[in-house]
Structure formats: structure tokens, C-alpha cells
Amino acid sequence: MFKSQLNLSFLFLQFLVLQFSSTVSAIRDNIGFREKTLCRTTVQGRYLLSDDNGYVCDALSVDPQSRCCPVKGEKFSCQGCNLLSQCCNSYEFCVSCCVNPARTQKEQVLKMKIATPATAGNFQSVFDFCAGRCRHSSESVVHENAYLSDFHHCFSLQSNSSGPGVTQLETRLNGINVFIGRQGDSCDSVCKSKGQSCVVNKLLLLNQCDM
């Protein structure tokens, strides 16, 4: 009788060990299949950065493992941006606004060249385009040492055509009031004196020699 009970206890113990090992194995399998999400972020700003999910945060808030901003606040925020000109007064919010699929079409961006030469490569993602386009460029500078406006981080798509006709330019300036300021005046100061706001992209059209 005692031997029979001993055998039953031994079998029960084996059953418990088998169940525990299978549970541990299942947990390990689940851990093995868990994918880590890694974000790409801007590096230009001193205090803020934007990730490729469209969030803006300060450097101390970034997750050290994923490099992502906390999922809080407004996604694809356009804070400090003029949506008419598609220009912003902050690089990070320019990128955040730009990566919004509703504003920047992925199919169009991936066909664009990073630089003018035909040998230049294409953008690999919308984030690459936005991070590059929102940086200062010659288009937002006047006299090589001053910005045309406080809104000098722009993400509008560049036109691939060269030398557009006057009719095309007039169409693109439709609805824009043109004021002539004194030499040295900024676009912002002249427009504010008239109760208007500066639209940097349109100012660039006016400065073309073929107008």
C-alpha cells in the first residue's frame, strides 16, 4: 500500500514539473516574438526633438530604449506653423507637421531627389524628407545673413519644373496682396503694418527675375 502511494506521489510530481516547464516555455516563446519599436528622431534642436511618429518632446522625455517621445500631447502638431505657406517658426514642429500623411504624400516624396544633380539619391521615407526640408535653406535667407521671416522652417514640396511662365506664377499668387516695403524691412514688418501676414513661399515667387 505504501509503495503504491509513493508511486502515485512520484507521478504527480512529474506531472507538476511538466506543466511548469511548458508554462515557462510558452512565456519564453511569447517574449521571443515580441518586436521592439525603435524611433528615429531629429537632432538639430537644443531642447526639443521630433520623432518619426509625429510627436514632439524634450530630450529628457525620450524613452532610452525605443528613442520615442511619450505618446501624449498632439500628434502631427503644427504649433507655430503657418499652414498657408507651410512654414513654421520651429524646426521640430515643422517636422511633426510635415510627417502627417494628410499633408505630405509618401508616394510623391519617395520620387524626389535629395539634391539637384541627377546622380543624387531619393528620399527613403517621409521622415527623411521632412527632417531635411525643414532645415534652413537658401530659399529662406535674404542677403545671405538674414531670414526672410520668423517662419523660416518650411516643408512645402519644391517644384521640379524650371522657369514657369508668367501665367503659372500669376495663378500661384492668386489671392495674395502685394506690398512694397523699404530696403531693409522684413516681410513680417511690412505685412503687419498693413494688417496682413507674410507668406514666405509667395515672397520667393515675387523675387524671381522673370516676373
What pLDDT sits at residue 204?
60
Q: Would you tell me the crossing angle of helices 91-98 and 126-133 to the nearest 10 degrees?
A: 150
In a domain? residue 3: no
The DSSP element (H or E) to which 112 belongs, if any, is none
Reference 56, options 38, 68, 44; nearest CA is 68
* Domain membership flag for residue 27: no
Task: Please report where in the chains the cell 517658426 appears, as a residue.
Answer: 89
And the C-alpha cell for 176?
495674395
In a domain, 107, yes or no: yes
Question: Within a domain: residue 103?
Answer: yes
User: To which H or E segment does residue 141 belong?
Assistant: strand 141-142
Cα separation, 22 vs 39, in Å, equals 35
Is 95 part of a structural domain of the chain?
yes
Q: Comparing C-alpha atoms, which of 92, 207, 42 is closest to residue 141?
A: 207
Provide φ and ψ at 58, rounded to 5°.
Answer: -85, 160
Q: Which residues contact 77 (CB under 8 A, 6 or more apart)?
A: 54, 55, 56, 93, 96, 97
DSSP conformation class of 125: S
Scored b (16 or more CB within 10 A) or e, 62-77 reads beeeeebbeeeeeebb
The Cα 85–Cα 103 span in angstroms is 12
Residue 139 lies in a domain: yes
Other C-beta atoms closer than 10 Å to the C-beta of 150 total 17
Per-residue cell: 3? 509503495
Binning the chain into helix, strand and coil, the percentages to the nearest 5 are: 35, 10, 55
Q: What's residue 190's pLDDT?
A: 82
pLDDT tens track of the chain, all 211 residues? 544 554 545 444 454 444 544 444 444 444 544 566 899 999 877 889 999 999 999 989 999 999 999 998 899 999 999 888 889 999 999 999 999 999 999 999 998 888 766 667 889 999 999 999 998 665 666 655 666 677 889 998 764 444 444 444 444 555 677 777 777 788 888 888 888 888 776 666 666 544 4
- Per-residue model confidence (pLDDT) at position 161: 41
Any domain includes 53: no
Give the Cα separation of 185 and 194 in Å (integer).
Answer: 13
CB atoms within 10 A of CB 48: 18
Provide the pLDDT for residue 177.
Answer: 73
State pTM to two decimals.
0.59
How many other β-carbons are positioned within 10 Å of the β-carbon of residue 49? 24
Q: What is the tally of structural domains in the chain?
A: 1
Which residues constitute the domain of residue 84? 78-159+183-206
Q: Do the domain assignments include residue 8? A: no
Whole-angstrom Cα Rg for the chain: 28
pLDDT on residue 4: 52
What pLDDT was estimated at residue 101?
96
